[in-house]
Amino acid sequence: MIDREPRGEYGRFQLYGLSVICFLILFSGGCSSSTLKQYKRPDYDIKTVKTVAVLPFRNLTSDNYADEKVRSKVSIELLSRDVNIIEPGEIISVLRELKIKSVDSIRNKDMVSIGSMLKVDAVLTGSVEAFGISRGITASYPEVTVHLIMFDTITGHIVWSNSHTSGGASFWTRHFGAEGSTLDNVSERVVEEAFDALYGR
């Protein structure tokens, strides 16, 4: 009969090495960098928000379409959470009527006007601060940073602000050059995790 159990110092070393590998797989398999910071107005009930106007985002990246890509994912995420959104064309018409040329020029009182004209509970805007592929020494990996801001349309006050970064090289990408998440996957995750934090999931 063959003895399949490792014995002695060598056997213990084998078991130790196997344990370390298993730990790294469990702990490091998804260890890409992720940071999330947010503010939620304590006296505001997010459950009262049933309709949102998602305004254009600021684009601070080298990708000319990063703002619209993220804005689209934000709209889809809100819809998936049973929140109605306003068509972009209607939003553009209202911004023109209010003579608002850019998101940077919007004031708190404008949020009240936008809310009244579009009949929404909240207005959401923000910026895309990173959206691309970062190149390391041995691997390339996607990184996305999104800042979202929600305004109450009755007071014009900020009721939620969330800054979230996700991406980076995973354990397998850093050490073995394995393929990690795509830029599209990471941007979806950033948006989903931001709203998870808002809704307390």
CATH number at residue 54: 3.40.50.10610
pTM of the model: 0.77
In the predicted model, what is the mean pLDDT of residues 83-94?
A: 97
Nearest 5°: phi and psi at 49?
-85, 110
110 and 160 both lie in a single domain: yes
125 and 168 both lie in a single domain: yes
Q: Which two tokens stand for residue 78?
A: 């809100």
Q: d(Cα 173, Cα 14) in Å, to the nearest integer? A: 25
Q: Is the pLDDT of residue 47 over 60?
A: yes
Q: d(Cα 139, Cα 101) in Å, to the nearest integer? A: 41
In the predicted model, what is the mean pLDDT of residues 141-163?
A: 96
Q: d(Cα 97, Cα 147) in Å, to the nearest integer? A: 26
Closest CA to 165 of 141, 194, 195, 200: 194
What is the pLDDT at residue 137?
A: 66
**CB neighbours of residue 174 within 10 Å:** 19
43 and 110 both lie in a single domain: yes
6 and 18 both lie in a single domain: yes
Query: What 8-state DSSP symbol labels residue 46?
Result: G
Residue given tokens 């003579």 in the structure block:
99
Query: What 8-state DSSP symbol labels residue 19?
Result: H
115 and 168 both lie in a single domain: yes
Pairing of strands 58-59, 84-85: unpaired
Q: How confident is the model at residue 168 (pLDDT cuts 50, 70, 90)?
A: low
151 and 136 both lie in a single domain: yes
In the predicted model, what is the mean pLDDT of residues 20-46?
A: 66
Q: Is the pLDDT of residue 199 over 50?
A: yes
107 and 9 both lie in a single domain: no
Element (H, E) at 92: helix 88-97
State how many domains the chain has. 2
Least confident of 1-5, 96-100, 183-187: 1-5
C-beta separation of 166 from 34 below 8 A: yes
Name the average pLDDT for the chain. 83
107 and 20 both lie in a single domain: no
Residue given tokens 């939003």 in the structure block:
91
What is the pLDDT at residue 146?
A: 97
8 and 95 both lie in a single domain: no
What is the pLDDT at residue 173?
A: 47
16 and 43 both lie in a single domain: no
pLDDT digits (tens, 9 = 90+) for 56-81: 999 999 999 999 999 999 999 999 99
More confident position, 110 or 179: 110
Cα dihedral 100, 106, 110, 111 in deg (nearest 10): 120
114 and 144 both lie in a single domain: yes
What is the pLDDT at residue 136?
A: 67
Q: Is the pLDDT of residue 178 over 60?
A: no
Closest CA to 36 of 125, 165, 129: 165
What is the pLDDT at residue 52?
A: 98
Look at phi and psi of residue 126 and say left if phi exceeds 0, alpha if psi is from -120 to 50, else beta: left
pLDDT digits (tens, 9 = 90+) for 182-196: 899 999 999 999 999
Q: How far is CA 101 from the centre of its chain?
A: 26
Element (H, E) at 84: strand 84-85
26 and 39 both lie in a single domain: no
Least confident of 5-19, 46-60, 116-130, 156-170: 5-19
Domain containing 5 equals: 1-30
